[in-house]
Amino acid sequence: MNPSDAIGFAQELMVEFGLVEWRAELDKAVRRFGACHYSQKMITFSNDLVALNDQACVLDIVLHEIAHALAGPGKGHGPEWKRIARSIGCSAHRCYSLTYTVGHLVNLFSAAHPAEGLASECARRADRSPVPTAAIVLRTENSMLAFF
């Protein structure tokens, strides 16, 4: 999806869910898709990963981050976040191609950190199919390649 369209789209949704003082911006992250910055009242999305994924997937990520903003700090991906996420139409899991995204992240990570073994390990994981979503999320978080 075009990243600047995604920001416009995110901003509209944020207003719709009452986050009128919040804003959406793009960032240069490659290890996660989106982030919620509570103190700055800002949600940011990875320019590269937005560009690589389609609108349906970006929508799910936007709703994911909006749910974080609505749940408030310290709630993580616990039951309260999950309840809010589902109530606003987020799948509360990753809808986009994890394998593709992980592969892309691994490529970026390898380019930035050629000496680290993490990238090749993640590449092997990404090659497995099918991979349980929850498991890959936990593993990626442990590997500091978390998406959100």
Measured between alpha carbons, how far is 83 from 107 in angstroms, rounded to an integer? 34
Find the shortest distance in angstroms from Cβ 124 to Zn ion. 25
Instruction: Name the residue whose CB lies closest to Zn ion.
Output: 148
Listed in sequence order, the DSSP H helices in 1-147 are: 3-16, 47-52, 55-71, 79-87, 98-112, 118-127, 133-142
CB 111, min distance to Zn ion, A: 25
Nearer to Zn ion by Cβ, of 66 and 119: the residue is 66
Tell me the closest approach of the beta carbon of residue 93 to Zn ion, in angstroms: 11
| Positions in the binding site for Zn ion (CB under 5 A) | 148
DSSP 4: H
For Zn ion, give the closer residue by CB, 17 or 148.
148
